[in-house]
Amino acid sequence: MNDERANQGLDHLQTAALEMIHAARAFLEVAEDVVRDRNKVAEIVDALGSVADAATRAARGEPLRGPRSGSNGGSTSTDVGDQDGDRDDDGGPAGGVQHIPVS
């Protein structure tokens, strides 16, 4: 291996490292803007809580709950599908995943 190729490789690595630093800086600036906005933080925390709840229910084999409606002050969430005993063609709850044949 000659010195010129080694120097070119080093130049490319330095350029790539600087690009990564610039990208990280831009990402952190956006993250800072998001963190400063309380409403955005609340939305993110709510979304993460929903994902964690769904993952916990799935791990336990429990049905996932639908969206909540706080109109009566109580928990009004319902299990998705099969509320009337309706089932789709695959035997799963109605309103679940629809299988569409692709030709």
Per-residue pLDDT of the chain (103 residues; tens, 9 = 90+): 689 999 999 999 999 999 999 999 999 999 999 999 999 999 999 999 999 999 999 999 888 766 554 444 444 444 444 444 555 555 555 566 777 888 7
On whether the CB atoms of residues 25 and 32 are closer than 8 A, the answer is no
The closest of 44, 36, 42, 65 to 53, measured between CA atoms, is 65
pTM of the complete model beyond 0.75: no
- Rounded Cα distance, 82 and 66, in Å: 12
Q: Compute how many other C-beta atoms are within 10 angstroms of the C-beta atom of residue 67.
A: 9
